Structure 1
Amino acid sequence: MSLPLLPFPSGCVVARLVRREKRFFVHVLIDGKPDVAHTNNTGSMLGLLRPGAPVLLSPAQNPERKLRWTLELVWCGTAYPRGGFWAGVNTSTPNRMLEAAFRAGRLPWAEGYTAFFREKVRGESRLDGMLEGPGMPRLWVECKNVTMAEDDVALFPDAVSARGLKHLGSLESIVAAGERAAMFYCIQRPDACCFGPADMIDPAYAAGLREAVGRGVEVYPHLAVLSEAGIDLRSMWLPLV
């Protein structure tokens, strides 16, 4: 079996969630003993943080870091390891996945592009990726992590995102200048068959996304494939609703 595009490091553990504290700390039980893990997810993680739910923690790669664990996955369902599925909550995953999928030739909408650049500045925004290819317009990409779904629809955002709305405006200006611009939504849960903006959470972002699409910004919501071994990506993207 081939490795996932983003394999987890060795030493991961399955723990039990106790509670989230503020934005960046998650209290857990590892083999029944209390510990604290770091989470980089500043969203609400709506519907995911159930006390007692299994969580997958990866060991910190920097031995000097204060917290030795990072929250990667949260189990959704009634029973582990069956009767549910993993949802990915690490918000660094979409950026890493974009580059890994590009280099593996897994992004049909990026065919013909040969070079990938991380975190390129365009105007007042720093965008997650920029692609170049011979005879092709530059392609600017902004990445977002999706962890919320309702009635088979993956939804973004799960909290008000003024920064995300600003990025949509930057992408619109790129299209107006004659280049390509796209949103890459990495849907880190398997129970969705389409994607849409979360009007009930952030109506301004929802309106902004629809306006951006009308002005030529491309939208590519891809389903991630999650396991305790790592994270992979389906090449075909979900329809936008």
Structure 2
Amino acid sequence: MTTAFLPYPEGCIRAEFIERRKRFTVNAQRADGPVAAHTNNTGSMMGLLREGRTILLSPAANPARKLKWTLEAVEFDDFWVGVNTSTPNRMVRAAFEAGQLPDTEGYTTFRSEAKTGNSRLDARIEGPRGVLWVECKNVTMVEDCRACFPDAATERGRKHLHELMTLAERGDRVALFFLVQRPDGDCFGPADFIDPEYADLLAKALDKGVEAWPFEAEVSMDGIRLGRRLPVAI
């Protein structure tokens, strides 16, 4: 069995975080001057984005893009925290292809961004066992050794839970893949102190058969590797 690993694009740089200027923009400083970067993380990144912290930026794939860099990770104490929200989608596919998702044994095909009704979910996995829908979430917050999601109230996340429950009620198999991009959580649970409605909905979703797959990601300067599976604490 191979290990699911996502390398960063070539040409990444380190910089010193200054501020989050807009929802999708962070300002940083390098020895040769200031640099602005795009962040696709719409959450609060609570406790991470503090002035003076080291951040990792990757070059934009499109050289014509206005912001030439993308925020990938933040150095926190003695470890890195991955904040790029596209990583869980890429990782769940890499893990499936590497045979690192035991819950997908017996499934043979993987399709990203699959449509169901009026929505799209992150993955549709098929095989002799039927259809498995997977929605992916990025986790960057740990409180009292528990990895928590979300780090900001999420209407979109609650909408996804309703969609997953509807699929489960009609007999489909559905799962939530939570990628915890930091190493200091011993278990995973909903952040009821951030979004109590999401926490209540997640508990209801699990009761209706929606599966939760929390996995730790090993984040380094080279890239991101899939690590251990965490227990769920509701």
Would you say same fold, with TM above 0.5?
Answer: yes
- Does residue 227 of the first structure (1) align with residue 220 of the second (2)? yes
Displacement of 1:174: 1.2
The alpha-carbon distance between structure 1 residues 58 and 129, as it changes in their structure 2 partners (threshold 3 A), is: same
CA distance in 2, matches of 1:74, 1:3: 23
CA distance in 2, matches of 1:27, 1:166: 32
Displacement of 1:42: 0.5
> Are the aligned partners of 2:4 and 2:94 in contact in 1 as well (CA < 8 Å)?
no
Query: Aligned Cα RMSD in Å?
Result: 1.2
4+ residue segments displaced more than 4 Å: none
> Are the aligned partners of 1:4 and 1:230 in contact in 2 as well (CA < 8 Å)?
no
Match of 2:85 in 1: 91
Of residues 121, 138, 141, the one that matches 2:115 is: 121
- Does residue 166 of the first structure (1) align with residue 159 of the second (2)? yes
> Are the aligned partners of 1:175 and 1:216 in contact in 2 as well (CA < 8 Å)?
yes
Displacement of 1:4: 6.0
Query: Gaps (5+ residues) in structure 2?
Result: none
Match of 2:51 in 1: 51
> Are the aligned partners of 1:27 and 1:34 in contact in 2 as well (CA < 8 Å)?
yes
Displacement of 1:5: 1.4
Letter in 2 for 1:171: L
Match of 2:205 in 1: 212
Deviation by residue 1:54-86 (Cα, 9 ceiling, x = unmatched): 000001111111111100000111xxxxxx110
SS of 1:70's partner is strand
The alpha-carbon distance between structure 1 residues 119 and 4, as it changes in their structure 2 partners (threshold 3 A), is: closer
The alpha-carbon distance between structure 1 residues 101 and 217, as it changes in their structure 2 partners (threshold 3 A), is: same
> Are the aligned partners of 2:178 and 2:213 in contact in 1 as well (CA < 8 Å)?
yes
Match of 2:196 in 1: 203
Displacement of 1:37: 0.7
- Does residue 33 of the first structure (1) align with residue 13 of the second (2)? no
Q: Percent identity?
A: 56
The alpha-carbon distance between structure 1 residues 109 and 71, as it changes in their structure 2 partners (threshold 3 A), is: same
**TM-score (normalizing by structure 2):** 0.96
Letter in 2 for 1:94: P
Of residues 225, 229, 232, the one that matches 1:237 is: 229
